[in-house]
A and B are shown apart, each in its own frame.
Chain A
Amino acid sequence: MRPLRPLFALAAAFATTATAHAQDVHAAHAAHGTHDAHDTHDTHDTHEVPPADHPGTQRERIEAASQEHPQHAIPDARPPSGHVAPPPPQHVMGAMSPARMIDVMGMDDRARWGRAVFDRLEHGDGRALGWSLRADYGGDVDRVQLRSEGEHADGRTAHGDVELLWSHAVASYWNSQLGVRHDVGEGADRDWLAFGVQGLAPYWLEVAATAYVGSRGRTALRIEAEYEALLTQRWVLQPRIELDAYGKDDPAARTGSGLADAAVGLRLRYEVTRGLAPYVGVEWSRRFGRSAHYAHADGNDADDARWVAGVRLAF
């Protein structure tokens, strides 16, 4: 503002000359005086009657009439609207292809768009790097989704999987999913056909349930659910649970039939921005049945509880 001080002075000068001018106009106006009667009206919290030279609505009469014949033409005491219908266009727009229309209008409600969210990108007790990625691309109805989660420790991937899914909007809050999953890491690599649902359950519960069919009659089921509790607008507490079950024992992959493992996590993040949120949390996991047996046989614990620290990234 400071360099504009002179301008300010200039403005004041303008205002002064204009004031003089305005007073002339005002004096003339006062002399004329015809319209002034109106502005002496007190302004109440009600409708006023417009000035007499512009006859206004006889509101009471109309209301009475409308009560008698609410659905029919009502003779209106008000002056006509003065509305003039426009002439037809001289140039009529013909039909054009949808693509051309989108281009010309600059409007495209079928545009494709993408996003990627690393919900978890974390270190657990200094020994493992865990990740969970969900990326998707497409239109509102059909989207391609890339899903991956796993754990990298001691320079190699301990376990993990990558899924490529076709996600199709089927109901208000639900998408059906169909695709493939490839497991990586220790034990035998496995490939699966995947089909499931993903969506938002009542009470804002984010849910994904996927069934898998592999070779040799192998089957699996994974259910994930998470919730985001807002402690404040930026502190978010996220509990989550993940369950894995298998149809039959698979010693090579170190998984047993029935409920094989469960993981429960609780993470507290701070959204520096919506896309960048560092967090700390605790993750508890447990193997059950034959899977626990395999773990013991390999010299591992069936139970694991650890602190995690990481960052949630959204693009």
Chain B
Amino acid sequence: MKLLSAGGRRLPVLPSRRRFVRGVASGALLAAYGFAPLRARSAQGVLSGTRFDLEIGATTVDFTGHARRAVVVDGRLPGPLLRWREGDTVTLHVRNTLAERSSIHWHGIVLPADMDGVPGLSFMGIEAGGSYTYRFRVNQAGTYWYHSHSRFQEQLGLYGPIVVEPRAGERFPAEREHVVLLSDWTDVDPEHIYATLKKRSDYYNFAKPTAGDFLRDARAQGVSAALAARRMWNEMRMNPSDLADVSGHVYTFLMNGTTPASNWTGLFERGERVRLRFVNGAAMTFFDVRIPGLKLRVVAHDGQDVEPVTVDEFRIAPAETCDVIVEPRDEAYTIFAQAMDRSGYARGTLAPRAGMVAEVPALDARVLLAMGDMMGTMDHGMPGVKGMEGGCGASMPGMDHAAMGHGGSATMHHAPAEYGPFVDMRVDAPRTNLDDPGVGLRDNGRRVLTYADLRSVTAPISPDVGREIELHLTGHMERYVWSFDGRKFSDAEPLRLAHGERVRIVLVNDTMMTHPIHLHGMWSELESPAGEFLARKHTLVVQPAQKIAYRVSADAIGRWAYHCHLLYHMEAGMFREVVVA
């Protein structure tokens, strides 16, 4: 194992692929990390090779002027970048110096079930003071990440990036690369945040519609239109501003462990193509990423190469990764990652020289959910949601027709538990459109990546499917209970797949929140509404009132986790065990 101190990496497009340039970005990082003097080791470390000794421990960090305890790997937040090589067998010896149980899950890596790092399903976790040796062959390439799967340790800083170099060289070459890991830090104890959400789920939402908003809308659109726009939401007891359960009120958004003020900087040389490997390691935050002045050529999603598509902006969900290649001129650019609820942003700089900065754009205006986010398709005039009384005016302001499905679907069947006290919404006619960038990004004047843009460069693992499993994403915002099919993890039986079978999983989002759903152990092969294979993913975002389908080849024997990657949703029950036997 070698310890290399480079946040960015000059990529040799030469036979000697293992040559590293030291110093360039690390110098910038040291300067950028100047605000965090308490950190034991500051710059993002890089560990490469086949044998790794990692140490989970507590450290003190200071992102806000207040010293706080973080839980980290090797004294760093984020943990060191692990560079593996496709085809290598890696051995990771992880010691836990905490006084509590811990774990590391290698997110998106296909490996044996006992190496997956989910306490209770894969292994017993790593006891306080204990250790565990992970060992598996890496048969894939791309950008991934690792994180704790124990309680709220991920929120406390236990995460880091993984880059697996392809044996045959990168399909889309670039002269330099940087990992850009986004995350959400809070000075508040995550236990307190979770308890607070249970007590009052809108506690961190300071963007709710107010009387002032009503007066503004009434002036602009007339009183009856303003009333109509609110009527259905209020009748349904739904809050159209509920875009994030935990907001910038308590979050400081980080880019590679650096606050916006400290400005993480990635350096490049004039004329270089730069590959940026974005990882969203946040516990709860979706980021909308753009680099004003640069086109983003998306070449991989969740580590898997896709046909390049050029965009201005992309939304990245917790646990997703997205690789883009940019071709900067000899000037500085701001990497701007605003939280989906516009309550804050992570920011860094891409520059030819350390110390340069570019203008930081203002946060976009806050946007409310559209009617389509609550009701799905509106093909038949009155769609929708059970229990709704009265008509919904055809000219509902704020209604986003573009966002509504064109692939209308038959009325949904809901599981009995969905009619119980812990489900607050059921969508009877979900939308199936994948070309919707999601709330806040629709028609913003920029070309925004959508799932409809993703085209894997390789063939699907599952050419066909033998059976279909439909699951609904369900929850109750006021009670802060989240589930699949109305059943929390503790109330649900495992989902059983026969070894070797190929299934289609259909997810219907019966909530008004956007959920990133992660299946461990097996790839999720996203399909278009017409059933064609689009892209291989490990984490799939399902927007409110949306239905998506993906193929899963049940070729990995064992017990696997399947859950929403919003940390507090997972804790509140949006988790299932999947058994392949």
Contact = CB atoms under 8 A, between A and B. Distances in A.
Nearest to B22: A18
Given A12-B27, A29-B175, A39-B173, A109 B461 contact: no
B307 A59 contact: yes
Interface stretch (A89-97, A122-130, A246-254, A301-309): A89-97
Given A88-B558, A109-B488, A173 B27 contact: no
A78 B10 CA distance: 30
A215 interface: no
Contacts of A1: 34-35
Residue of A39, A91, A105 ringed by the most chain B CB atoms within 10 A = A105
Contacts of B179: none
B458 A80 contact: yes
Interface string A269-297: 00000100000000000000000000000
A188 interface: no
Interface in A157-174: 169-174
Contact of B463 (A63, A74, A202, A230): A74
A195 to B, nearest CB: 18
Contacts of B112: 86-90
B120 interface: yes
B530 A202 contact: no
A53 B30 CA distance: 40
A77 B571 CA distance: 42
Nearest to A72: B464
Contacts of A76: 459-460, 463, 533
B479 interface: yes
Contacts of B23: 14-15, 17-18
B157 interface: no
Contacts of A71: 531
Interface size class of B (residues with CB under 8 A): 35 or more
Interface string A29-68: 1001001101100011111111100101101001100110
A72 B26 CA distance: 52
Interface in B83-124: 101, 110-115, 118-124
B39 interface: no
Given A21-B21, A83-B140, A232-B212, A28 B14 contact: yes
B580 to A, nearest CB: 9
B211 A274 contact: no
Given A15-B267, A96-B120, A38 B125 contact: no
Interface string B290-330: 00000101000000010111110000000000000001000
B573 A15 contact: no
B27 to A, nearest CB: 3
Contacts of A89: 112-115, 122, 557-558
Chain B interface secondary structure, helix, strand, loop or mixed? Answer: loop
Contact of A39 (B27, B151, B234, B327): B327
A96 B377 CA distance: 44
B440 to A, nearest CB: 19
Interface string B529-542: 01111001000000
A266 B481 CA distance: 32
A231 B210 contact: yes
Contact of A32 (B13, B353, B575): B13
Interface in B257-275: 267, 269, 271-273
Given A39-B327, A54-B171, A140 B422 contact: yes
Contact of A35 (B139, B173, B235, B422): B173
B64 interface: no
A22 B457 contact: no
A287 to B, nearest CB: 33
Interface in B161-210: 171-173, 175, 195, 198-200, 203, 206-210
Interface in B406-437: 420-424
Contacts of A11: 26-28, 30-31, 354
Given A18-B22, A85-B556, A231-B212, A200 B119 contact: no
Contacts of A81: 456, 458-461, 536
B489 interface: yes
Nearest to B10: A22
A83 B310 contact: no
Nearest to A98: B490
B413 to A, nearest CB: 18
Nearest to A230: B210
Given A84-B139, A171-B421, 6 more contacts: A10-B27, A10-B30, A108-B571, A173-B237, A231-B211, A274-B200
Q: Which 7 A-B pairs have the closest CB atoms?
A: A11-B27, A106-B151, A85-B555, A14-B23, A89-B114, A76-B459, A109-B573
Interface of B: 10, 12-14, 19, 21-24, 26-28, 30-31, 34-35, 101, 110-115, 118-125, 136-137, 139-140, 150-151, 171-173, 175, 195, 198-200, 203, 206-212, 234-237, 267, 269, 271-273, 295, 297, 305, 307-311, 327, 353-355, 420-424, 447, 453, 455-461, 463-464, 476, 478-479, 481, 488-490, 521, 523, 528, 530-533, 536, 553, 555-559, 570-573, 575
29 contacts: A4-B31, A11-B26, A14-B23, A15-B353, A18-B21, A18-B24, A23-B269, A28-B12, A29-B12, A35-B13, A57-B455, A57-B456, A70-B530, A70-B532, A79-B458, A85-B556, A86-B113, A86-B556, A88-B558, A98-B490, A105-B121, A105-B125, A110-B488, A140-B481, A173-B237, A204-B237, A232-B210, A232-B212, A233-B206
